[in-house]
Amino acid sequence: MCNPGLRLLRPRWMRHSAGMYVRRIQRRNKDGSVVRYVQLATNYRANGTTKAEVLLNLGREDRLDLEVDVVFFDTTSTYFERDTPDTEGSLRRFGHSKDHRPDLPQIVIGLAVTREGIPVRCWVWPGSTNDQTVIEQVRADVRAWRLGRVVTVVDSGFSSEANLACLTRAGGHYIAGVKMRDGSAKAGEALARHRYQHVRDNPRVKEVRLASDPTRRWIICHNPAEAERDATRRTAQLAAIEDELARIKTAREQDAARARARAAKAGLKRAPKPSDAPHRKAGCALRDHPSLGRWLKQHPATGKLSIDRAKVKTEANLDGKYLLATSDPDLTPEDVALGYKNLLEAERAFRTMKSTLNLRPVYHRVDERIRAHVLLCWLALLLVRVAERRTGTTWRTIRNELGRLHQVTLTGPAGSLRQLTEPTDLQTQIFKDCGIPMPPKTDGLEPSITR
């Protein structure tokens, strides 16, 4: 399943891919101790009731270190190599592309990941789906697991008031990134205070409580190294803008000087005004530049471009900072900051799906097959993460090491048999850690038939 080329085997339960999830069950031993097991399951309807069908047993929870009290959720998109989208209601639609391909139809993929990087659930939505509209479904699906207290971690793309209210239903909590530049009065009030404490892996952090919002805690994080990088990047961009503005000004003055010289040579009392179109075109290109244009302002009457010093000062105050909000009353500011940084596990999962597991290209057009393709990639990612957790090494090392283990067929006058190459100590240890028995040294003996 971890081989990206294997996409043909699709059991009957692929039809229920939208309802598949990782769950925990408890079993009591004869000595009275309780052991938790992790299973891959799906729900189906039978005789008017909903039942769970176990698809795969993943083993004991204590061996997986599967903690789902904190769930990290994020979305990505993957595009299709076609010019036109499908009809309304289908999956392949135009939308905001996180792969920077807005010209191609796409689908949106959601992923829920534990703090150890284990993917416990995936979703597939039409490509036109907005991130702000999926949280209610995600929260309902997570609540169906009956996990008890769950803290959901999301980035600023999901932090609308409606979504945050949804995440706090039934005793749930959230850690959410908050946009600092959207003009929010609460965000501005929280950022106005400047007393930090140092924590590990996140150099400076402070907690702010607002009288206007007593149920929410605001955590401001400041990374001095990132602040220095932001300042250096901004200084370089401002220098590039000043050089370009000076070049445009010099070119305009040179055109005017040449026009005066031509007029004097022709005996004209007044020089004709030279064309300003090339300079306006250069100014428009600078104004519309994706990274430099944000620092410019344009005079409403003359159209002259200049650096917006007020915006530069405002951005300088935000260097190296990001703002978090949480509804959990018990987590420390350090736990909140470090928990949000672990959202990178979801992004790492998407990178693995798109690179190692070849999520794209998708050679399907029927919605059911597209969902099955994403599901196979998710199951492969689940097995990759479980193998990494059990062996303590990366999937690349596991794949490369096991790729050197071969089974060869030996044929002679007495018959033929299949023989395994001599496994190395590392290969044997990988099989042992994963709980998989070693393949037999010899297999498939077929004696020759003598007449």
Kindly report the number of other CB atoms within 10 A of residue 416's CB atom. 13
- Predicted local confidence at residue 193, as pLDDT: 60
Per-residue pLDDT for the chain (451 aa), expressed as one digit of tens each? Answer: 455 444 443 444 444 444 566 666 777 777 777 777 767 777 766 677 767 777 666 666 655 555 557 888 999 999 999 888 888 889 999 999 999 999 999 999 999 888 888 888 889 999 999 988 898 888 888 776 655 567 889 988 888 888 888 888 767 889 999 888 766 777 777 777 656 666 566 568 888 888 888 888 988 888 888 899 999 999 999 999 999 999 999 999 999 888 888 888 888 878 888 888 888 899 999 999 999 999 999 988 888 899 999 999 989 988 988 889 999 888 888 888 888 888 888 888 999 999 888 898 898 989 989 998 998 899 899 889 989 988 999 999 999 999 999 999 989 888 898 999 999 999 999 999 988 899 888 888 888 776 5
Query: Would strands 70-79 and 151-154 be described as parallel, antiparallel, or unpaired?
Result: parallel
The Cα 324–Cα 336 span in angstroms is 8
Residue appearing with tokens 């097959």: 369
Note the maximum CA span of the chain: 119
Contact 430, 402 (CB under 8 A): yes
Residue appearing with tokens 């007044």: 270
Alpha helices in 266-342 (DSSP H): 277-287, 309-316, 333-341
How far lies 349's CA from each of 18, 101, 162, 383, in Å? 19, 20, 27, 12
* pLDDT tens digits, 122-179: 899 999 999 888 988 888 887 766 555 678 899 888 888 888 888 887 678 899 998 8
- Residues with Cβ within 8 Å of 58's Cβ and at least 6 positions away in sequence, in order, are 22, 37, 38, 39, 40, 64, 382, 386
How far lies 121's CA from each of 23, 135, 219, 248, 377, in Å? 10, 14, 28, 55, 12
Contact 175, 333 (CB under 8 A): no
Residues facing residue 447 across a β-bridge: 415
How far lies 275's CA from each of 225, 244, 254, in Å? 47, 19, 12
- Predicted local confidence at residue 415, as pLDDT: 87
Q: What's at 421, amino acid-wise?
A: T
The strand ranges marked E within 97-232 are 106-113, 119-126, 151-154, 173-178, 197-199, 202-210, 213-222
- Predicted local confidence at residue 171, as pLDDT: 72
User: In terms of Cα–Cα distance, which of 343, 349, 411, 414 is closest to 379?
Assistant: 349
Q: Is the dihedral angle over the CA atoms 123, 98, 387, 441 positive or is it negative?
A: positive
Query: Would strands 34-46 and 151-154 be described as parallel, antiparallel, or unpaired?
Result: unpaired
Per DSSP, the three-state class of 435 is coil
The dihedrals phi and psi of 327, each to the nearest 5 degrees, come to -100, -5
